Amino acid sequence: MANADQDGWSKVKERLRADVGDDVYSSWFARMDLEGLEDKTVRLSVPTRFLKSWIQSHYAERVLACWQAHDNNIARIELTVRSAVLRTNIPVKPRETAPVVNGHVDGGRIMPLSEFLDAQLYNAVLRVSKKETGVLQPL
């Protein structure tokens, strides 16, 4: 995106802040970002669907008017929800597991509860199948 686009966005934000006031601007527009300008459309993004819906319902015409005051060629505002998660192909290391020996964690690692319960159930089934105990006693 060109610096001129970002400069324009800064001027539009200043105009919008002056138009709606600091409190309203901080509540609804502070987290709005410029994604791009294409033809006569300004693409803006916000972090949540609620924010998008509220701005579209209550302030879309005002945002468009501020853009048109800056650049009268702008005819449309497109508002999207940006992703909070960066999608990158980061390899995930396999999780190291500590062996459970006789119902105890070996290796000093704290196990997630579901993994611990699975290990306890497995050991209990082994004891019953080897007839070490006649009754399966849950934790």
User: What is the SS3 assignment for 76?
Assistant: strand
Per-residue pLDDT of the chain (139 residues; tens, 9 = 90+): 678 888 999 999 999 999 999 999 999 999 999 999 988 999 999 999 999 999 999 999 999 999 999 999 999 999 999 875 554 555 555 545 555 555 555 555 565 666 666 667 767 766 766 765 555 555 5
Q: What is the pTM of this model?
A: 0.58
* CATH superfamily assigned to domain 3-81: DnaA, N-terminal domain (3.30.300.180)
What pLDDT was estimated at residue 96? 53
In sequence order, what are the residues at sequence separation of 6 or more whose Cβ sits closer than 8 angstroms to the Cβ of residue 99? 106, 107
Q: For 103-124, b where at least 16 C-beta lie within 10 A, e where not — what string? A: eebeeeeeeeeebeeebeeeeb
User: What is the SS3 assignment for 13?
Assistant: helix
What pLDDT was estimated at residue 25? 94
What pLDDT was estimated at residue 4? 82
In sequence order, what are the residues at sequence separation of 6 or more whose Cβ sits closer than 8 angstroms to the Cβ of residue 3? none
What pLDDT was estimated at residue 90? 53
For the chain, the domains span: 3-81, 100-129
Residue 32: other Cβ atoms inside 10 A: 22
What pLDDT was estimated at residue 124? 72
In angstroms, the Cα distances linking 122 to 13, 107, 110 are 61, 18, 18
